[in-house]
Structure 1
Amino acid sequence: MNLRMNYRAANPGAFKAMMALEQYVSGQFEDKVLYELLKIRVSQINGCAFCIDMHAKDLMKLGDYGDHILLLSVWHEVPIFTEKQRVMLEMAEVVTRISEHGVPLELYNKIREHFSETEIVNLIMAINSINSWNRIAITTGMYPGCFN
């Protein structure tokens, strides 16, 4: 594997802007497990090996979440995820694939049962952020360990 370019070096201002968004969004989540699950699931959908690796490792630092990582792609079929995590995962999938069906009112109503309006905006921003990171990583050829 070859890194196509080091976007951080090529455009430090763009990297700084993305990091500012990341720092803001990550600071809005008290539940870091929820945040890392969101990042991993969106990265799975987008096929971003770099981000899956990074956020799976970050989640493992928070505790024994190996089963959560292994079963995240089939979260619909297993009982280990809380109802709040399940609703968030559904929202993350739908927003990541927003061009396919939009965001159904039923899902919006379900998310409101678990999250305040401020938290919903934070979820949307987190989904947007990781989608942006995935697109940067995939386009520039990033892979686990490429910056080591």
Structure 2
Amino acid sequence: MTAPRLDVHAAAPDVHAAMAGVDAAASGPLGPALAELVRIRVSQINGCALCLSIHTRAAEAAGEGPDRLQALASWRGSSLFTGPERAAFGLAEAMTLISDAGVPDGVLAAAREHFDETRLTHLVWTIAAINAWNRVGIAASPPA
């Protein structure tokens, strides 16, 4: 394994710990499987190999099987995902690709159909946190 370009944990352990705390607090009410699927989908979009590896293992530990993990990149064409999961993935994609069209009203409305205000807010924070982790991970990791 190649050494990181930046050791973000060692150089700023207080920031790393704070970010880990935000991530844990945000995702708690979502449950581990949904939180990990969202983290994987965002990491796929952002191309963060480190986060994909971490969160795929975590999803497997949370009970996710290979079929759903393999289908996640093309979730729209798969029947393996529930309505709440689809709404979460749609919101995750909109927030990750925010410069494309912002977060369209329809995407947020679809999420509201499946999540109450508290869980929806936790989902938004979980998506924001994994986007931050992806950017730090990509900056700190050596290029492929």
Amino acid at match of 1:88: A
Q: How well do the aligned residues superpose, as a CA RMSD in angstroms?
A: 1.5
The size of the alignment, in residue pairs, is 142
Equivalent positions of 1:81-120 (< 5 A) are: 81-120=81-120
Write the distance in 2 (CA, Å) between the matches of 1:101 and 1:74: 20
Aligned to 2:62: 62
CA-CA distance at 1:26 after TM superposition: 2.7
| Structure 1 consecutive aligned stretches of length 4 or more whose deviation exceeds 3 Å | none
Residues 64 and 90 (structure 1), Cα distance of their counterparts in 2 relative to 1, 3 Å cut: closer
- Deviates most, 9-18 or 118-127: 9-18
**Matched AA of 1:67:** D
Q: Secondary structure at the match of 1:106?
A: helix
Identity value in percent: 37
Query: How far 1:120 moved relative to its partner?
Result: 1.2
Q: TM-score, normalised by structure 1?
A: 0.90
Superposition deviation, residue 11 in structure 1:
1.2
Structure (1 or 2) with the greater helix fraction: 2
Q: Counterparts of 1:1-148 in structure 2 under 5 Å?
A: 1-29=2-30, 31-141=31-141
- CA positional deviation for 1:49: 0.5
> Is residue 50–residue 142 contact of structure 1 (8 Å, CA) maintained in 2?
no
1:23 positional shift: 2.2
Structure 2: gaps of 5 or more residues = none
What 5-or-longer segments of structure 1 have no aligned partner? 144-148
**1:2 Cα shift?**
4.1
Instruction: Find the aligned partners of 1:127 and 1:71 in 2 and give their Cα distance.
Output: 19
Moved more, 50-59 or 10-19: 10-19
Q: Distance in 2 between matches of 1:94 and 1:15?
A: 26
* Deviation for aligned residue 1:27: 2.2
CA distance in 1 between counterparts of 2:141 and 2:125 reads 24
